[in-house]
């Protein structure tokens, strides 16, 4: 069978005030084109369909249309909720999804059998997929209680909980003539973050070892980390990564989807298919004169300017580089020896003197800023 594995769409993402809606339309159209060309038997979307738990109507329309278009390629489609998604809201769409022939699992349900999906390809290959949406620590314990496993003790780790839940969902992975698959939205120990993930759900307390996956699985399709990568484990474990760079920390990532070919008796063969529709993210550095010499790339820019702060500097840079979304004084410049930084003595000094000292320490000799401070201070003080 052939599988298209994708994740972390983050539809509705706004980057430094810039909507990515048009890019998302192009990116998802690109994913659909790949599905039409590759003709997979199964499409897995491993969580974070949305960037926020309260998506706009436009974002919901884009996601539902993309899932529908993927289903119309002839593939079975399974999508799970991620940590950015509202699991209950996704489950509210299940009547629509069921009618469209799409399997949607937003949150963990009381009946574990709902998370075990069976299918058969057009060529007769039987497959079974254990689909586990994102679980917070609290809901991991609740899932254990629902599934009547060993009592969830408060001193158990998140990895313990996830291992037990996955063990319950994959206990049927024993038939030799069936492809066994897992999809989940989580962090595996040792995997590299992409740069734009939500820190609270990637820290070590939320990381699980790859040993939570059974050796009998033919392929594990993961979401949550935005960099496409293979993870060492008892079976083939892989993140597809995001099909577009979500934040500037991901500017070196190569957006893609993962294609997998596997049978019940042969190992999974994996390849990446790039998705190039979104604008690239780039970081540029330099003085104002150096930035003026840059041939503005077709990318969203983070600019580290090597100039002392002054009024109007941001506007000058934006005039030179209209696609600059983030503009900062280069931290290397601020940390350089001899930059003039010193600690102001507070005792007996007026707010005006302290603010003047601050401006001086930052190399910001601008009388206009000092005058504005004086006006504002006068208003507040009186």
pLDDT tens-place string over residues 298-355: 899 999 999 888 888 999 999 999 999 999 988 777 655 544 444 445 556 778 778 8
* 32-63 per-position pLDDT tens digit: 999 999 999 999 999 999 999 999 999 999 99
- Residue 59 has a pLDDT of 97
Tokens of 70: 């993927």
Beta strands 42-45 and 2-6, pairing class = parallel
Confidence of residue 147 (pLDDT cuts 50, 70, 90): low
Q: List the 102-105 sheet strands across, edge first.
A: 102-105, 76-80, 42-45, 2-6, 256-263, 266-274
* 234-291 per-position pLDDT tens digit: 999 999 999 999 999 899 899 999 999 999 999 999 999 999 999 999 999 999 999 9
Confidence of residue 113 (pLDDT cuts 50, 70, 90): very high
The residue behind tokens 């930059």 is 339
Q: Higher-confidence residue: 197 or 354?
A: 354
pTM of the entire predicted model: 0.83
Confidence of residue 31 (pLDDT cuts 50, 70, 90): very high
Distances (CA, A) of 44 to 49, 79, 373, 382: 11, 6, 56, 63
Tokens of 186: 């989580």
Mean pLDDT of the chain: 88
Average pLDDT of span 167-184 = 96
Average pLDDT of span 201-209 = 68
- Residue 70 has a pLDDT of 98
3-state secondary structure 101-147: CEEEECCCCCCHHHHEEEEECCCCCEEEEEEECCCCHHHHHHHHHHC
Alpha-carbon span 175 to 244, nearest angstrom = 37
DSSP at 171:
T
Is the backbone of residue 135 left (phi > 0), alpha (psi -120 to 50) or beta? beta
């Amino acid at each position: 069978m052939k599988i298209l594995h994708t994740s972390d769409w983050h539809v509705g993402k706004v980057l430094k005030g810039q909507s990515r809606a048009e890019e998302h339309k192009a990116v998802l159209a690109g994913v659909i084109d790949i599905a039409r060309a590759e003709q997979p038997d199964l499409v897995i979307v491993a969580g974070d369909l949305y960037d926020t738990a309260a998506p706009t109507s436009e974002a919901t329309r884009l996601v539902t249309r993309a899932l529908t278009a993927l289903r119309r390629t002839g593939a079975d489609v399974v999508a799970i909720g991620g940590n950015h998604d509202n699991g209950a809201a996704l489950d509210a769409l299940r009547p629509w999804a069921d009618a469209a022939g799409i399997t949607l699992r937003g949150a963990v349900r009381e009946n574990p059998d709902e998370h075990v999906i069976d299918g058969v390809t057009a060529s007769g290959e039987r497959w079974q997929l254990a689909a586990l949406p994102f679980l917070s620590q609290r809901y991991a314990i609740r899932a254990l209680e629902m599934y009547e496993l060993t009592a969830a003790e408060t001193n158990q780790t998140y990895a313990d909980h996830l291992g037990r839940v996955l063990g319950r969902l994959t206990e049927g992975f024993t038939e030799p003539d069936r492809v066994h698959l897992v999809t989940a939205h989580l962090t595996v120990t040792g995997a590299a973050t992409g740069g734009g993930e939500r820190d609270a759900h990637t820290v070590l307390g939320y990381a699980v070892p790859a040993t939570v996956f059974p050796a009998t699985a033919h392929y594990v399709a993961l979401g949550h980390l935005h960099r496409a990568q293979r993870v060492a484990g008892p079976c083939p474990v892989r993140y597809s990564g995001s099909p577009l760079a979500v934040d500037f920390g991901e500017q070196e990532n190569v957006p893609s989807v993962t294609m997998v070919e596997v049978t019940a008796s042969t190992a999974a063969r994996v390849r990446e298919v790039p998705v190039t529709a979104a604008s690239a993210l780039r970081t540029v550095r330099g003085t104002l004169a150096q930035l003026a010499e840059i041939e503005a790339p077709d990318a969203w820019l983070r600019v580290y300017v090597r100039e002392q702060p002054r009024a109007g500097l941001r506007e000058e840079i934006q005039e030179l580089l209209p696609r600059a979304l983030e503009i900062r004084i280069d931290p290397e410049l601020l940390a350089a020896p001899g930059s003039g930084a010193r600690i102001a003595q507070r005792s007996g000094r007026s707010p005006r003197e302290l603010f003047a000292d601050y401006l001086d320490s930052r190399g910001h000799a601008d009388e206009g800023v000092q005058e504005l401070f004086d006006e504002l201070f006068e208003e507040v003080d009186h």
